[in-house]
Amino acid sequence: MIANGGVGVKIKGVVENATVGPASISNAAMSVWTDPAAVTRNVTMKGLFITGAWREGIRINGTATGVNIEDFYISMRDVPQTNDQLPSGITVLSGKNVTISRGTVSGFKTIPSSAYPNGDGIAAEKNVDTLSISDVSSSDNTDGGFDLKSTNTRLNNLSAARNYRSYRFWGKAAATTLTSVDPRNAHIWAGAGSEVVIDKLVAQSKTNALILYVDGAKSVTIKACELSVPVGTKLVYKATAASVVTLGKGCVLP
C-alpha cells in the first residue's frame, strides 16, 4: 500500500478481536492511525512493514485494551519533520495492557534547530497503564529511543543506538536488560517522579555521553552494568539531591 502522505489504515468506532496485518505501508503521514473516539479490545497488529513514514508509524489512541503490536519494521523517510509534528515510530497515547514485541523502529527525526530535538522511536504517554515492550530495537532518532511516561511499564531485552537519549523514563518502570550504544546525550534519563529498576545496563560509547542523567527521579536502581565508554565519561548526574540512586556490580568507571 502506498499512501502518498495520507493515512494508511484508520481504526474507528468499536473494533474487537481483530488482526491488522501482515501488510506493507509506504509513504504515509500516519501509517496506522487510531481515532481518539475509537474503542479497541483485543486487537493484534502483526507483520507490519512500514517504510518512508512522514510522521508516525503506529498511533494507539482512544479506549484501547489488550492491544498487541508484534513482528514489525518501521522507518521514517529521509526528510525530517518540523518540531510541531512530533515524529514517532510507535505512539501510545492511551490504553491498558498494551504489548509491543519483536520489532525495529528507526530514523524519526525533526529538522535541526535551537529548539529541543523531538523524534522518538517508541513513545508512551501518562494515560497508558501496563505497557510491556520486549525484543525491540530503536535507532537514529533525534530524541529518545524509548520515551516512556506510562505507568506499570515492563521492559525486556531492548536495544537503543545513536539516539539523543537511549531511554527516557517519566513513570514507574522495571527492565531486564537494556543495551545502549552511542547516544549523543545520555544512556539513561530519569525525569521527575520516576521510579526505575534495571536488572542490567549494557552501555557502549565513543563519546562522553552520561551513563545516568537523573532529572528529578524518585529513585533509580541499576543492579548490574557492562560499561565500555571513554575515559572522562560521567557515571551519574543528579539535578536534585533528593533522588535516590543505587548502583550494583560493574557500575563503576576507571
Question: Considering the entire predicted model, what is its pTM?
Answer: 0.95
C-alpha cell of residue 59: 498511533
Determine the pLDDT at residue 1: 60
In whole angstroms, give the CA distance from residue 164 to residue 172.
21
- pLDDT tens digits, 52-62: 999 999 999 99
Mean pLDDT of 207-230: 96
C-alpha cell of residue 71: 513482528
Query: Could you tell me the pLDDT band of residue 117, with boundaries at 50, 70 and 90?
Result: confident
Determine the pLDDT at residue 4: 63
Determine the pLDDT at residue 199: 98
What residue has cell string 537511549? 166
C-alpha cell of residue 248: 550494583
Asked if residue 201 lies in contact with residue 223, where contact means CB atoms within 8 angstroms, the answer is: no
Asked whether residue 249 carries a pLDDT value surpassing 70, the answer given is yes
With 0-12 / 13-18 / 19 or more C-beta atoms within 10 angstroms meaning exposed / middle / buried, residue 72 is buried
Domain borders along the chain are 18-249
Mean pLDDT of the chain: 94
Percent of the chain at pLDDT exceeding 90: 87
Query: Could you tell me the pLDDT band of residue 114, with boundaries at 50, 70 and 90?
Result: low
Work out the number of other CB atoms within 10 angstroms of the CB of residue 140. Answer: 17
Tell me which fold the domain 18-249 belongs to: Pectate Lyase C-like (2.160.20)
Mean pLDDT of 142-163: 97
What's 91-134 look like in SS3? EEEEEEEEEEEEEEEECCCECCCCCCCCCEEEEEEEEEEEEEEE
Mean pLDDT of 47-51: 97
Round to the nearest angstrom and report the end-to-end CA distance of the chain.
Answer: 52
Percent of the chain at pLDDT exceeding 70: 98
Asked whether residue 84 carries a pLDDT value surpassing 90, the answer given is no
Mean pLDDT of 72-84: 91
Asked whether residue 217 carries a pLDDT value surpassing 90, the answer given is yes
Determine the pLDDT at residue 132: 98
Is residue 54 helix, strand or coil?
Answer: coil
- pLDDT tens digits, 120-144: 999 999 999 999 999 999 999 999 9
